[in-house]
């Protein structure tokens, strides 16, 4: 449907009614911010990571931060003639503490990463502009980060960092930043790509490590439940390796029972960090055979027959335990390992009934490849409910994937320190919803943070403002947008009654010809059957605008929001128009977001001047029009350049 209001306004671009506003052209970004720790976990320092994104070295002598923090890079020094050179594709860190302290807080920093500082001042926990200039005052790179809106909540005070996802996209776009996959981020490593992700190795056990073991002679048959991560082993005995009996060599924990085929052990460990794949290495003191399980899944066996085993299955052969033997080397455990709590279960088998000797101890390590992002597709927070005391009384989770998701090792917390974490258990079937009764407090001012965590890693994070005593917040579509209001859809797909879908952004003029910035506008259309009152509504992203009270759009009606209401009204008379807005629409694209009186999303468009988005709307005389009001206006193909062929020709006024 074509707009009946704004299509008559095109002559304004050639007129002198609207003042020209200067636009600063965007330059190719050669120096970029690639990671920012702006609100580190208590006790850890912040940092800023900067990368030379080119094959050209730069003289960074006397470069300085003009916004955010205070620091000036050292100039040329005869004692170190290369210290002021920013090498090609080099990544550096700028720190508020000395190098030793920063490396102690973030031990994964590569040895060859240069660390500058200390800087003075502090990065704002709520967001601010951070700008680096060269010695002549030319901006080398800048970003205005935020702790709200579309910026990732998981990067604010949880230990995760704000990490750039693509070094070749705009530095200041929220869409190009995410929370780091690992707590602490990857300082000093620069922007990561799937092909060159770093690995990290975690020691799980040594031969002398402590395990729980079962000496219950009356119950030799443990079945299979004992190997599961949620098995209750509280009545098992605990001791340090090496375990065994009937040997001249001393054991760390001598076993007192003999003559049985099978002995059982369990060990719990925390695995911190998200990963894309993981391999395990095991070497063991062993007499005679062994099978290892991780979270209930067999990962390797040695000197044991293939197929199913039970408590009477003998080892394949006898062996002496004193020499270490390789059990697993680079064995893939990606499908069994979890971020957070894990349980290794081991069954050791003798070669013959009545044998009195047995032994076990193991060195175990896991080498994992870091993941670029949290696996949010596997599990998300989908609904939050409040009780009569205005505190959270249940939270609903959703598993949108094709497999059942175990909640073992996960927790929910409303404190960024995770000190009030509530442990979870059970599982959620594929595509299912599960509400979890609990009590979590929120701030008196209504600010709400909610974190789904595994160990110290954030799997999903939600930040909301409960300003109007909302009964629930529901995510719709799940994992994307949140709506607060009455009613709930507990343990079922969400359908928030507060969701408004009549008003749509129908036309956008973001880059008017000849840089007439005051001629920018946004047009709304009411595709519904009822008049909609916009009192209390606002444009919260892109530009700033608060709709006047009693502003209405009737069915099939239009409303223009103008950068300069007087300008458009003077040129085109009495049209449905409001204004003026604050700020201006970016020629390089940005998110335009409209919210209702409760802060719920009405409509949003994240436009760009490239790709499949309309070409002529990028400063060539056209606006960008929605092809039909029923189409998804966040898809580029739903938009077209306005048709200016029957309009008057542009004129130049002097």
pLDDT, position 654: 39
CA angle at residue 115 from 111 to 120, to 5 degrees? 155
Q: Which of 651, 629, 648 is nearest to 638 (CA)?
A: 629
Instruction: Average the pLDDT over 269-276 and give the result.
Output: 78
Chain segment 191-241, per-residue pLDDT in tens? 765 455 678 889 999 999 999 998 765 557 788 889 988 899 999 999 998
Top-level class of domain 500-641: mainly beta
Statement: residue 629 has pLDDT above 70: yes
pLDDT at position 373 over 80: no
* DSSP state for residue 100 in the 8-state scheme: H
**Other beta carbons within 10 Å of 147:** 19
Question: Residue 514 pLDDT > 70, yes or no?
Answer: no
- pLDDT tens profile 416-441: 999 999 999 888 988 999 999 999 98
Pairwise pLDDT comparison (459 vs 215), residue with the higher score? 459
Give the model's confidence band at 248: pLDDT under 50 very low, under 70 low, under 90 confident, else very high.
low
**14 pLDDT tier (thresholds 50, 70, 90):** very low
* pLDDT over 70 (residue 15): no
When the pLDDT of each residue in the chain is averaged and rounded to a whole number, the result is: 86
pLDDT score at 3: 42
Helix (H, G, I), strand (E, B) or coil at 102: helix
For the chain, where do the domains classified as CATH 2.60.40.1260 start and end? 31-193, 500-641
Confidence check: pLDDT of 152 > 60: yes
Please tell me the predicted confidence (pLDDT) of residue 377: 52
- Residues ≥6 apart with Cβ < 8 Å to 242: 207, 208, 251, 252, 253, 285, 321, 359, 360, 361
Lowest mean pLDDT segment, chosen from 2-16, 445-459, 572-586: 2-16
Q: With 60 as the cut, is the pLDDT of residue 502 above it? A: yes
Q: Contact, 350 vs 260, CB < 8 A? A: yes
Check if CATH label 1.10.1740.10 holds for domain 201-370. Answer: no
475: part of which helix (H) or strand (E)?
strand 472-475
| 424 prior amide bond cis, ω within 30 | no
Residue 189 pLDDT greater than 80, yes or no: yes
Upstream peptide bond of 137 is cis (omega within 30 degrees of 0): no
Closest CA to 382 of 452, 453, 446: 452
Give me the pLDDT at residue 651, please. Answer: 41
Bridge partner residues of 452 (DSSP): 412, 460
Band of residue 172 on the pLDDT scale cut at 50, 70, 90: low
CA 248 centroid distance within chain: 55
pTM above threshold 0.85: no
By the 8 A CB rule, do 436 and 418 touch?
A: no
Considering only the C-alpha atoms of the chain, give the largest distance between any 2 of them, rounded to a whole number of Å.
107
294 has pLDDT over 90:
yes
Q: Which CATH superfamily is domain 31-193 in?
A: Lamin Tail domain (2.60.40.1260)
Q: What is the mean pLDDT of residues 442-466?
A: 88
Greater pLDDT, 18 or 610: 610
Q: Outline which parts of the chain fall under CATH 2.60.120.260.
A: 201-370
CATH 2.60.120 fits 380-485, yes or no: no
- Higher per-residue confidence, 237 vs 2: 237
Percent of the residues in the chain that have a pLDDT greater than 90, as a whole number? 55
CA 654/CA 649 separation, integer angstroms: 16
């Amino acid at each position: 449907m074509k707009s009946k209001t704004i299509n008559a306004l095109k002559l304004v671009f050639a007129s002198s009614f609207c003042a020209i506003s200067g636009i600063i052209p965007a330059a190719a970004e050669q120096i970029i911010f690639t990671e920012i720790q702006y609100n580190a976990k208590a006790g850890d320092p912040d940092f800023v990571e900067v990368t030379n994104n080119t094959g050209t070295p730069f003289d960074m002598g006397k470069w300085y931060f003009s916004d955010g923090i205070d620091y000036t890079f050292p100039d040329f020094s005869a004692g170190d003639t290369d210290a002021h050179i920013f090498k090609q594709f080099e990544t550096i860190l700028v720190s508020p503490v000395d190098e030793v302290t920063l490396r102690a807080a973030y031990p994964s920093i590569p040895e060859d990463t240069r660390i500058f500082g200390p800087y003075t001042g502090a990065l704002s926990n709520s967001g601010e502009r951070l700008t680096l200039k060269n010695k002549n005052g030319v901006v080398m790179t800048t970003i205005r980060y935020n702790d709200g809106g579309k910026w990732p909540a998981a990067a604010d005070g949880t230990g995760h960092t704000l990490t750039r996802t693509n070094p070749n996209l705009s530095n200041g776009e929220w869409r190009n930043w995410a929370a780091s996959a690992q707590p602490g981020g990857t300082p000093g490593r620069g922007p990561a790509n799937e092909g060159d992700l770093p690995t990290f190795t975690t020691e799980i056990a040594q031969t002398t490590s402590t395990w729980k073991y079962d000496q219950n002679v009356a119950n030799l048959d443990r079945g299979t439940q004992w190997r599961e991560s949620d098995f209750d082993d509280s009545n098992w005995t605990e001791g340090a390796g090496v375990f065994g009996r009937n040997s001249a060599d001393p054991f760390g924990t001598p076993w007192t029972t003999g003559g049985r085929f099978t002995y059982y052990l369990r060990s719990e460990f925390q695995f911190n960090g998200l990963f894309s794949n993981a391999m395990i290495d095991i070497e063991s003191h062993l007499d005679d055979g062994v099978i290892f399980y991780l979270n209930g899944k067999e990962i390797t066996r040695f000197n044991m027959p293939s197929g199913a085993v039970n408590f009477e299955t003998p080892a394949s052969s006898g062996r002496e335990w004193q020499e270490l033997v390789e059990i697993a080397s680079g064995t893939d455990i990606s499908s069994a390992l979890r971020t957070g709590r894990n349980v290794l279960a081991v069954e050791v088998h003798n070669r013959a009934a009545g044998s009195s000797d047995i032994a076990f101890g193991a060195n175990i390590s896991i080498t994992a490849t870091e993941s670029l992002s949290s696996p949010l597709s596997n599990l998300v927070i989908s609904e939050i409910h409040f009780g009569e005391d205005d505190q959270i009384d249940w939270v609903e989770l959703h598993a949108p994937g094709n497999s059942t998701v175990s909640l073992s090792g996960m927790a929910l917390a409303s404190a960024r320190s995770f000190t009030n974490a509530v442990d979870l258990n059970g599982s959620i079937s594929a595509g299912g919803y599960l509400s979890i009764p609990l009590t979590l407090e929120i701030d008196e001012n209504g600010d709400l943070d909610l974190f789904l965590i595994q160990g110290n890693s954030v799997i999903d994070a939600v930040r909301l403002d409960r300003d109007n005593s909302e009964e629930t917040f529901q995510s719709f579509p799940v994992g994307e947008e949140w709506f607060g209001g009455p009613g709930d859809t507990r343990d079922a797909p969400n359908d928030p009654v507060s969701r408004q879908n009549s008003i749509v952004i129908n036309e956008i003029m973001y880059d008017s010809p000849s840089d007439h910035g005051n001629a920018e506008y946004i047009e709304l259309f009411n595709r519904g059957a009822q008049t909609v009152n916009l009192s209390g509504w606002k444009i919260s992203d892109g530009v700033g605008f608060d709709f006047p009270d009693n502003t209405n759009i009737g069915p099939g009606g239009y409303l223009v929001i103008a950068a300069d209401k007087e300008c458009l009204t003077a040129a085109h008379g009495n049209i449905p128009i409001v204004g003026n807005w604050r700020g201006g629409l970016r020629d390089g694209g940005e998110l335009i977001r409209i919210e209702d009186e409760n802060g719920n999303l009405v409509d949003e468009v994240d436009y760009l001047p490239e790709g499949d988005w309309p070409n002529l709307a990028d400063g060539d005389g056209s606006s960008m029009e929605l092809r039909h009001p029923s189409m998804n206006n966040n898809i580029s193909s739903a938009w077209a350049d306005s048709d200016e062929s029957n309009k008057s020709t542009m004129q130049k006024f002097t």
